[in-house]
Chains A and B, each alone.
Chain A
Amino acid sequence: MPEHPEKKTPKTTAEAGIPGAYDGETVTRRRFMTGTAHGAGAVAMAAITVPSIAIGVAPVFDKVEQGWQAVGPTTDFSADTYVPKTFTPTPEVGEVGKSTVYVRKYNDQIDTEPRDEYNTFIAISTRCMHLGCPVRYVSASERFICPCHGGVYDKEGKVGGGPPVRPLDRFYTRVRDGLVEIGPRFSLNSEMQRFSPRDPGQPIDGIGQYIYPARPTVRKLPGS
């Protein structure tokens, strides 16, 4: 509306000369109804969309508990070479949920990280740390080899060549009733320090651990 400098903005609808206005009314009934209807519509839409989007996003915040699974008696494993074992980290999806893990005893000759309750046995994940293809252990060359893009890891799981960005993930292990049990996954930086699990392709040396933060869905065991 064009402004007239001498004309003040009316405070009430009665001052503005709107017919049928009540004394002291500041909002016209028409404007009030319009606002109420739009507001009610917005509330109704939000009531539908917000919970719907919430259930879509919810799994990002849900912690997934990883149990312990026995993979064999302690006598199955030596400190010199790996024994492949199958276990089921995601039980609800049938065959797809199965995974291979390479297990051996802690070896003072090659393992540099300190001994604790979780590494009497070393359990190495077959997930390549380039983009997640399955690696296999070639005992003749004592290397883990990835078929997809040529990633190579040494006997300890450290990167020996190719595109992988960090050592192979491991699983916590413990011994119960003479059986070796595989627990939750954790990731390692190049100094073999434990980190909460990261997806393949995410380096966690230096600034990497902040660029690729740990997620609420999986955490390493507290105090390890």
Chain B
Amino acid sequence: MPKLKLPVPSNFKAPPKRPSENGHEERGKLAEKGVSAIDWIDERTALSGGARWLMFRKIPRGTNWFYTLGSATLFAFLSQAVTGVFLAMYYDPNATGAYESIRYLTNEVFMGEFVRGMHKWGSTVMVILIFLHMGRTFFYGAYKYPREMNWVIGVALLILTLFMSFTGYLLPFDQRSYWATIVGVAINGTGPLVGPYLSDFMRAGPEFGATTLPRFYAIHMLLLPGIIAALIGAHLYLVARQGTTAPPWLKADKDPDLRRDEA
């Protein structure tokens, strides 16, 4: 057998074969080939250490289902990213063609309505999940030292997600999205001193014009997802580095069990 250490702790590994189980030689050979392929990659990249570091972390006693809300949000983001890429294949970011391209996608394209629906409703789900994840972090006190920076990154991600919602809302370019954007930009303009200039920046001019929709589209599908993906990377790195917190009802000072290192 190769000397690869798979990213699995020793107690997860299969026990050694008994002499009576020798009927599976074919499968053994295939598995050995797979292992040697992974071995080949790992020898050149040393990824297994990083994978072990990321995936097989110790988690505190009391970890429960509420700790999955962050992963759920991540999944919602990935769902938006995948569906968004394929919606972009049909979308025409142009004031005279946008509505028609969405109509075609929804009514004519096989499963178009379904994928568009996933993107549309998924955006709402993502915002809800972010707030639930934030609530879990807040009520469990998980934002405290040494995790303050991760809280700040999380808030930035929340704001960027709301920007995503705002820019994405215009794209179907029906009456609702047009007037919602008019109102949204006007609300932005009520910010003192810089508000009027920011509104001109968002519209690319004093009125809703030919370059407004492409501008919203570029921000929605290129700029914001890039920043969000980078910040999610930082967010996850800090989670893996710092570990998760125990629920606040478990008192480490009073419960000697929590201090015992179960190696």
Please state if A201 and B186 are interface contacts (CB–CB under 8 Å): yes
Distance between B222 CB and nearest chain A CB, rounded to angstroms: 12
Chain A residues with Cβ under 8 A from B201's Cβ?
A: 56-57, 59-60
Shortest CB-to-CB span from B102 to chain A, Å, is 15
Residues of B contacting A217 in the complex (Cβ-Cβ under 8 angstroms): 200, 205-206
**Distance of A213 Cα from B198 Cα, bound (Å):** 12
Q: Are B186 and A90 in touch, CB under 8 angstroms?
A: no
A59 to chain B, nearest CB (A): 4
Residues of chain B contacted by A56 (CB below 8 angstroms): 201
Q: A90-B207, A92-B209 are known contacts. Are A201 and B190 too (CB-CB below 8 A)? A: yes
Asked if residues B187 and A201 are in contact (CB atoms below 8 Å), the reply is: yes
B14 contacts chain A at the CB level, 8 A cutoff: no
Cβ-based interface call for A199 (8 A):
yes
- The reply to whether the CB of B193 lies closer than 8 angstroms to some CB of chain A is yes
Is A93 in the interface zone, CB < 8 Å from B?
A: yes
A94 and B96 contact, Cβ closer than 8 Å, known pairs A59-B205, A201-B190? yes
Chain B 176-221 interface residues, beta-carbon cutoff 8 Å to A: 178-179, 182-183, 185-187, 189-190, 192-193, 195-197, 199-201, 203-211
Contact between A202 and B193, CB atoms less than 8 A apart: no
Chain B residues contacting A97 (CB-CB under 8 Å) are 95, 209
A133 touches B179 (CB 8 A): yes
Which A-chain residue is minimally distant from B95 (CB atoms)? Answer: A93
Place the interface of chain B in its size category. 20 to 34
Contact of B193 among A93, A96, A197, A213 (CB under 8 A): A213
Contact in complex: A60, B183 (CB < 8 Å): no
Partner of A215, one of B182, B187, B196, B210: B196
- A218: nearest chain-B partner, CB-CB: B206
Contacts of A62 on B, CB cut-off 8 Å? 205
Q: Are the C-beta atoms of A212 and B211 separated by less than 8 Å? A: no
Question: What is the minimal beta-carbon distance from B194 to any residue of chain A, in angstroms?
Answer: 10
Output the nearest chain B residue to A58 by Cβ-Cβ distance: B204
A213 and B196 within 8 A (CB): yes
> Is there an interface contact between B209 and A199, defined as CB atoms closer than 8 Å?
no
A133 to B192, CA, bound (A): 21
B183 CB, nearest partner CB in chain A, Å? 4
Our pick among B182, B183, B192, B209 for the contact of A93 (Cβ within 8 Å) is: B209
Q: Contacts of A214 on B, CB cut-off 8 Å?
A: 196
In the complex, are the beta carbons of A94 and B95 less than 8 A apart? yes
Measured CB to CB, the closest approach of chain A to B212, in angstroms, equals: 8
Contact string, A149-171, partner B, CB cutoff 8 A, digits 1/0?
A: 00000000000000000000000
Cα A100 to Cα B207 in complex, Å, equals 15
B182 and A132: CB pair below 8 A? yes
**A64 near B205 (CB under 8 angstroms)?**
yes
Chain A residues near B211 (CB, 8 Å)? 59
Q: How far is the CB of B105 from chain A (nearest CB, A)?
A: 19
User: Which B residues between 77 and 98 are near A, CB-CB below 8 angstroms?
Assistant: 95-96
**From B97, which residue of chain A is reached at the shortest CB distance?**
A94
**A186-219: contact bitstring with B at CB < 8 Å (1 yes, 0 no)?**
0000000000011111100000000111110110
The distance in angstroms between the C-alpha atoms of A112 and B82, with both chains bound, is: 60
| A199 near B196: Cβ-Cβ < 8 Å | yes
Q: Does A84 contact B (CB under 8 A)?
A: no
Instruction: Give residues in B with beta carbon < 8 Å to A.
Output: 95-96, 178-179, 182-183, 185-187, 189-190, 192-193, 195-197, 199-201, 203-211
Residue positions of A touching B, CB distance < 8 A = 56-57, 59-60, 62, 64, 89-90, 92-94, 96-97, 131-134, 148, 197-202, 211-215, 217-218
User: Given contacts A93-B210, A202-B195, could you give 20 more A-B pairs where the C-beta distance is less than 8 Å?
Assistant: A56-B201, A59-B205, A59-B211, A60-B197, A94-B96, A131-B183, A132-B179, A132-B186, A133-B179, A133-B183, A134-B179, A199-B186, A199-B189, A199-B196, A201-B189, A202-B190, A212-B195, A213-B193, A213-B196, A218-B206
